[in-house]
Amino acid sequence: MSSATGPGMAARRAAVIVLRAVLEQPDEAPQVDVLLADATADLDDRDRGLARAIVTASLRRLGSIQHLLAQLMERGYPRKCGPLEAILVTAAAQILFMDTPDHAAVDTAINLARADRNAAPFAGLANAVLRNVVARKDEVAGYDPLDIDTPRWLAARWRAAWGEPQARAIAAALRQEPGVDVSVRGPAGPWTEKLDGVALPLAPAAAATQTIRLRTTRGIEALPGYAEGAWWVQDAAAALPARLLGVQPGEQVADLCAAPGGKTAQLLAAGGKVAAFDRSPARMDRLAANMRRLGFAPERHVVNLATVAPEKIRGGPYDAVLLDAPCSATGTIRRHPDVAWTKRPGDIASLADLQARLLDCAAALLKPGGRLVYSTCSLEPEEGEQQIARFLERHPQMQRLPVIAAELPGLREAINAAGEVRTFPSMLPDAEARMAGLDGFFAARLQRKN
């Protein structure tokens, strides 16, 4: 795409580049955060923020946008039209779901189209389509979140797994922009005012870390306590697995698949002697940087636990092991809306196979009587409840260690009949959408028999 100038044009051009990669190569494109970092490397903070906001709005409501555009373009997109689809989708997102003035969204889209040799012949078409989007914006409010804004295969899965009401509640919650949660060391009270937040009642008062949900929209690094390492960003649901492990001071703990380190920090704050494992050197470098800011120094091991025999892994056996396994991440779609459009049904089975291998490894690292918490940020039963059922069939030396209501004082409804934890994005309701919800997570606590 050649140059086009004007206020906000660089941000919009970057958003088009990112969205085009997701739309045209969903199975091959890097994560959106990586694409955004590359596309906005030369932009100032304001334009980087605008590009991210446009991409996020486009993906969060991609179903609605594509549904409306399909009605306005009965013949579909012309052949060899370059980035035209991405230009129209990002412009429609601004018109329908952002505070961008309609004329600004339309005019910048036309300029972006004219600046690309393949899209330029269709600038008039783009102008006509977007003016119709403006005229019909009110009807989008009636679009169904499950039937239109959720990929069909995911909607079918959630209906089958959780029933119609819960599937609809999930889809509605995923439309909302989430707030920011942070884990603080010790009691939340002193930090709620400093950080302009609300303490979430999701842990016993004696827990080593507590969660605060921020009201502020200020930049994270500018907030009190960031530079001193007093807290770290971590979704409320993501903070649960490490707490459920119940680490005591001095215990030997293995954190598998540890990067970027939020759970590692929790385990260290609880007094554990922690060994962090991850297969990616780059991810481990990121964990190391986060640990330096927080003043922690865990052991670090770069190893692919799915392919290495447990007896060849350095360290152990351990009193406690945390396995937050790689997964489809469908529980994080509020924060990462690209997940809904880049994952495929076949991914679930391949990821479940990987999780099973990692669970087998985790069990082999435990001392007799040792504890294991397995978790995923997935809404799919194959990666949660069914995974644990199969694991216990393979490992008669392991047993469930059920979670009790006192451990989750504000989320008792998340504990299932087996004593496992299943959170949904629709939990933690609040009158203000940004202060409601949490990631969809599964966690099970197990113990090796003596």
Q: Give the CA angle between residues 194, 198, 199 to the nearest 5°.
A: 100
By the 10 Å C-beta count (0-12 exposed, 13-18 middle, 19+ buried), 402 is classed as middle
pLDDT-derived band at 132, boundaries 50, 70, 90: very high
| Predicted pLDDT at 84 | 97
Please compute the mean of the pLDDT values over residues 388-405 and round it to a whole number. 97
**pLDDT score for 300:** 95
CB contact at 8 A, 266 and 209: yes
Model confidence band, residue 6 (pLDDT cutoffs 50, 70, 90): low
The pTM of this model reads: 0.94
Q: Which residue, among 328, 378, 383, has the nearest Cα to 359 in the 3D structure?
A: 383
| 408-449: pLDDT as tens digits | 999 999 999 999 999 999 999 999 988 999 999 999 999 999
Mean pLDDT of 335-349: 94
Say yes or no to pLDDT of 3 above 60: no
3-state secondary structure (DSSP) of residue 200: strand
The pLDDT, as a whole number, for residue 18 is 96
Percent of the chain with pLDDT over 90: 90
Q: Is the pLDDT of residue 106 over 80?
A: yes
Q: Which of 300-314, 382-396, 416-430 has the lowest mean pLDDT?
A: 300-314
Read off the DSSP letter of residue 411. Answer: -
For residue range 321-338, list pLDDT tens digits in order.
999 999 999 999 999 999
Percent of the chain at pLDDT > 70 equals 98
For the ranges 26-40, 117-131, 212-226, the lowest mean pLDDT is seen at: 26-40
pLDDT digits (tens, 9 = 90+) for 225-258: 999 999 999 999 999 999 999 999 999 999 999 9
Q: What is the per-residue pLDDT for 7?
A: 66
Spatial distance between the Cα atoms of 6 and 173, rounded to a whole number of angstroms: 36
Burial zone of 44 (CB within 10 Å; 0-12 exposed, 13-18 middle, 19+ buried):
exposed
Position 247, amino acid: V
Binning pLDDT at 50, 70 and 90, where does residue 29 land?
low
Residue 361 annotated among the catalytic residues of the structure: no
The CB-side HSE value for 198 (13 A sphere, CA atoms) comes to 12
> Is residue 2 very low, low, confident or very high in pLDDT (cuts 50, 70, 90)?
very low
pLDDT above 90 for 175: yes
What's the rounded mean pLDDT across residues 208-215? 95
Q: Which pLDDT band holds residue 205 (cuts at 50, 70, 90)?
A: confident
What per-residue confidence (pLDDT) applies to 1?
54
Give the per-residue pLDDT at 401. Answer: 98
pLDDT of residue 450: 84
Q: How far is CA 416 from CA 187, 332, 411, 449, in A?
A: 28, 20, 11, 23
Six-digit token string for 223: 């907030």
pLDDT range class, residue 8, cuts 50, 70, 90: confident
Rounded to 5 degrees, φ, ψ at 239 are -80, -15
Q: Residues 6 or more apart from 76 whose CB is under 8 A from it?
A: 70
